[in-house]
A and B are shown apart, each in its own frame.
Chain A
Amino acid sequence: METIVAALPYLLKGLQVTLYIFVIAVILGFIIGTVIALFRLAPIKILNWIAKIYIDAIRGTPFLVQLFFIYFGLNSLSWISFNSTTAGIITVAINAGAYFAEIIRAGIQSIDRGQTEAARSLGLTGSQNMRFIVLPQAFRRMLPTITNQSIISLKDTSLLSIIGIADLTQQGEIQASATFESFKIWLIVGIIYFIVIYLLTILANFLERRFQLR
């Protein structure tokens, strides 16, 4: 018990780092995903290609390789330099962005064409139609899948400990080797992740009910 009480402040500090990276990366990832989804659907060939290459490249490579490429690979170039936290945020954001893009594309395409026709026939421009009619409806429909991907991204952040980010997992490693209480420490770390993800699910369910399609 004492080991746990002693270790807990460190673990919670790690949790702070995890959440900090997660929140920023998911917001960035969502923005990237929206832009890439619009690229994918735009009637412009080059944009379609950019989006497709981006999505395929991310989906076709492991997360760790992406992380190493950005942190070690890009950092080895003389004109680029960023610290491990920045590299971590960028990797999670870029990774989530690709998956979000596919979710958002499917969401947009699931909205009945009649919605766009009604909006355009009223004189709304293409982008007004996206902003006020299509995306709000698509977003509601996508919420469960978005939650899923966010949870995956949250779990992915635990891999960032490998490049030395002091996140929850890294703090777990430190505490486990310092206390020789691997079983208890990793159990606690697992429980903390579980609680966070559980809270995330509750938040998502709440939003889903709030935004329920009538």
Chain B
Amino acid sequence: MSVIQVKNLRKSFGQLEVLKDINVEIKEKEVVCVIGPSGSGKSTFLRCLNRLEEISGGQVIVNNHDITDPKININTVRQEVGMVFQSFNLFPHKTVLENVTLAPIKVLGMGKEEAEKTALELLTKVGLKEKANGYPGELSGGQKQRVAIARALAMNPKIMLFDEPTSALDPEMVGDVLEVMKDLAREGMTMVVVTHEMGFAREVGDRVIFMDGGFIVEENLPDELFSNPQHERTKAFLSKVL
């Protein structure tokens, strides 16, 4: 069953057409990695999936909600779609625990005690229980990103979107964050991951999508795509990053 269906998706910023006719389906529990050169539209594509970017054309259906329908309440759809950003975007004026409990309390109306209990479980899961009462400013990049993942998971989402979650991290921090993501994948989370980590894509991805110039140029099983790319542009890109 497809939890994400993208049909003829187009997105322009003014005159600049960034996404040109994107078509893709993502099944439940699938881990899809999106790779491609800088400026190819990877982030824009991801951000169209929870409508952080207004969609210029085509149709995007997420968890059976047509988010291109102007009448849809996008907030309820977003509750089911977690997002993790390259720059973490933790709330600096809230403690780590409050970062994680805020949305469940304010959006889902969960009681404070229950929210804190869940939050502590999630922080334990990402290995940061002892930082619960600290502030984001006291954390390293890798720790921030793990809190950001816990914050997204606190809404109990059906889908997780990751936009280069490890690109802003020092190399020695990358492993911890990828470990958490691998755990998630193993637990059967549906994930769309924009990444430069080809190792991760190969090991964890069920499918890899290569984007260039606003198109999906090629998609395939990770091993296939990496060892036997079909298109010139894919070959050129892989030869630079591998």
Which residues of A line the B interface, CB within 8 A? 112, 114-115, 117-125, 128, 132-133, 136-137, 140, 213-214
Binds A, one of B29-37, B83-91, B112-120: B83-91
* A132 to B155 Cα, complex, angstroms: 17
Distance (Å) between the CB of B105 and the closest chain A CB? 10
Residues in A with CB closer than 8 Å to B204 are none
Q: Which single member of B85, B92, B107 contacts A124 (CB below 8 Å)?
A: B107
Closest chain-B Cβ to A53's Cβ sits at a distance in Å of 29
Q: Does B76 contact A (CB under 8 A)?
A: yes
Q: Is the CB of B52 within 8 A of A120?
A: yes
Contact among B76, B93, B136, B148 for A136, CB-based, below 8 A: B93
**Alpha-carbon distance between A121 and B51 when the two chains are bound, in angstroms:** 9
Note all chain A residues with C-beta closer than 8 A to B148: 118
> Which chain A residue shows the least CB distance to B75?
A123
A121-B78, A123-B75, A128-B106 given; A214·B89 CB < 8 A: no
Is the Cβ of B85 less than 8 Å from the Cβ of A128? no
Asked whether A118 lies within 8 Å of B93 as measured between CB atoms, the reply is: no
Point out the residues of chain B lying under 8 angstroms from A124, CB to CB. Answer: 75, 103, 106-107
Which residues of chain A come closer than 8 Å to B135, judged between CB atoms? 214
Q: Which chain B residue shows the least CB distance to A131?
A: B106
Residues of B close to A122: CB separation below 8 A? 78-79, 82, 102-103, 107, 151-152, 155
C-alpha spacing A112/B88, complex, angstroms: 12
User: Is B201 part of the contact surface with A, judged by Cβ < 8 Å?
Assistant: no
